[in-house]
Amino acid sequence: MTKAKKSAGAAERRRCVELADEIRRHDRLYHVEARPEISDYEYDRLVKELEALEAAFPELRAPDSPTQRIGGAPLDGFDTVTHAVPMRSLANTYDEGEVREFDRRVREGLTGESFRYHVELKFDGVAVSLRYRDGVLERGATRGDGSVGDDITANLKTIRTLPLRVRENRPFEVRGEVYMLRSDFDDLNARRRDEGLETYANPRNTTAGTLKQLDPKVVAGRRLRLFAYQVVDPGELGFDTHSGSMNWLESLGLPVSGDREVFDDVDGALAWVESWQEKRRGLAYDTDGMVIKVDSIIQQERLGATSKAPRWAIAYKFPAAGEPTRLEDIKVQIGRTGTATPVAVLAPVVVAGSTVSRATLHNLDEIRRKDIRVGDTVFVEKGGDVIPKITGVVLEKRPKGSRRWRFPKRCPVCDTELVRDEDEVAHRCVNVACPAQIEGRIEHFAARGAMDIEGLGTKLIAQLVGKGHVHDVGDLYFLDFEDVLALERMGELSTKNLFEGLTESKARPFHRVLHAVGIRHVGAHVARVLANAVGSLDALEAATCESLTEIHEIGQTVAASIVDFLHRDESRGMFDKLRRAGLQMVEERGEGRRLLEGLTFVLTGTLANRTRTQAGDLLRERGARVAGSVSKSTDYVVAGEAAGSKRRKAEKLEIPILDEEGFERLLREGP
């Protein structure tokens, strides 16, 4: 007698609805709004729970269940594109046993046939579709909901590694992943910190948000890159294997990862995947797993696909990185522009070779998205192997009675009420006399790339502000020698060195002064643009928003920030002190300073007498452009000690390479 199948009860029905709603919300956050709240691992766990419920109780599986869809929707502001071939997602797993189960299903579907697996890196970026016609890139689109995406052709054309024309007149479509190098992501965040802006959380989210920008000029400044990973309908183009189609894409000049191999069985494929667990950390970009595909196109077609994913491929994801530790407290730090940043205070834990006890939490929205609470056990990793960050929470270990963290209402330093603008995620202290802001502004003023004042460190700055000797950066140049000498850890020699550093800083060019004073949105590059365009502080103070926006690269937001800053009483007082101290308030624009006009340089390795930042500043002052990577348009590569791949690429392209002596001579004499 056959046992009757059990029907779903109220608890199962309720849980099914909860899971479906939660997954749909995360689909929209990930695919449309580009601000995911949970890790891929946590998302996959929700989906698997729903799949298990629907398998146990088929009557709960609705036609619009998230398990039957890819997720996402087109975004307002772009034209929509219907994909001729749906952009399916991949089945994925974190378990070797499930990969072997995938292999069993493939062998069952190809009974008696031999087959091979193609294994490639899975890039942690944003999937796009590219269509070429008559050798020209005709259209590029996002995945969207798998059937309909956004037309982002103009944005994709800003990716310098993506060819706009290829040597192939047949129409073809290719799928790829747009990503950002960790170094470019770090540079972008450094620029945003310089400009007093909120920093971004990670390269993947930043890439997704960048592709949704309506202004391609913004996209062009973000240095996005792309890897092509699949030809659509390869059989129609005459390819027998996926590996052959990838070699063809590479021959056309499309960027294709060289880290791909073909194996005769699943054991070889899994062994290669295992070898990448640690090796991937040496890559310049993020990966979150490997993709295992049946290599034969005919066999792929025979295996077919579900409504959601192909049956001939699986993504084997790497376990979530990070070390567990306890979140002991959340403190709020005040930056130089008044931004209040929550910081996690952690039980010390060793991550990637060093002890970590603090990690930035960015803002309240980030804390809410991850549901981080004091007392939680959290996973900590280093973003780009440098900056500590919390990647997730171990909910099973959450203490009973824990409460959501609340942002303090008042500044922890000066007790001024914290405010939050409607169009910003950050809370701010609006008291410009807040000691924490003063310390931050002085630290920024003294930093390399700004006034580069030797001997003026964080602890000394805190003493100068705390004792009331300094209220703004202008006061630095009117310090009393005896007052400084009386401070803790300040002897005769260190005090003398500080005053010598202050005297030397008076010779820094006007654009360095303009960057150093900390105008919001005005980093080193914008300061140089302004100084070259207006010529002096007097001219800048007389400028209006309208006249500033006529300068190339200066938009309305930047212009308004400059005018607002220059017309504050405290700014006028500060600049008056800097004028009396003898700092440069006029940009020198003589012929001798434009020796390298129009030339492009790349810096690599370590220079003995200058930092790379200092070398780059000297090049820009002489009219040169400093690029981050070597290409055919590079005129010179400056190679210090331990120069690596950039030097090798320059040698391959026969680009002139300068040692430090040659570089210094070029700065003096020109090419």
Q: Which two tokens stand for residue 630?
A: 């070597």
Neighbours of 331 (CB within 10 A): 13
Within 347-491, residue ranges assigned H as helices are 364-370, 435-446, 458-466, 481-485
Q: Report how far residue 425's alpha carbon sits from residue 403's, in angstroms, rounded to the nearest whole number.
A: 21
Q: Which residue has the tokens 């202004």?
A: 215
SS3 26: helix
- Sequence-distant (≥ 6) Cβ neighbours of residue 482 within 8 angstroms: none
Q: Report how far residue 341's alpha carbon sits from residue 436's, in angstroms, rounded to the nearest whole number.
A: 12
Three-state SS for 355-387 is EEEEEECCCHHHHHHHCCCCCCEEEEEEECCCE
State how beta strands 117-123 and 260-263 pair: antiparallel
> What's the length of the chain?
671
Alpha carbon separation from 253 to 165, 256, 257, 606 (Å, rounded): 9, 8, 12, 32
Neighbours of 457 (CB within 10 A): 12
| Catalytic residue chosen out of the listed positions 122, 212, 370, 646 | 122
Residue 212 is among the residues annotated as catalytic for this protein? no
Within 169-323, residue ranges assigned H as helices are 182-194, 203-211, 216-220, 242-251, 266-279, 297-303
Alpha carbon separation from 103 to 31, 296, 300, 307, 558 (Å, rounded): 30, 15, 13, 20, 56
Q: Report how far residue 263's alpha carbon sits from residue 421's, in angstroms, rounded to the nearest whole number.
A: 56
- Which H or E element spans position 390? strand 387-393
SS3 576: helix
- Which H or E element spans position 640? none
SS3 59: helix
Neighbours of 418 (CB within 10 A): 20
User: Residues with catalytic annotation?
Assistant: 122
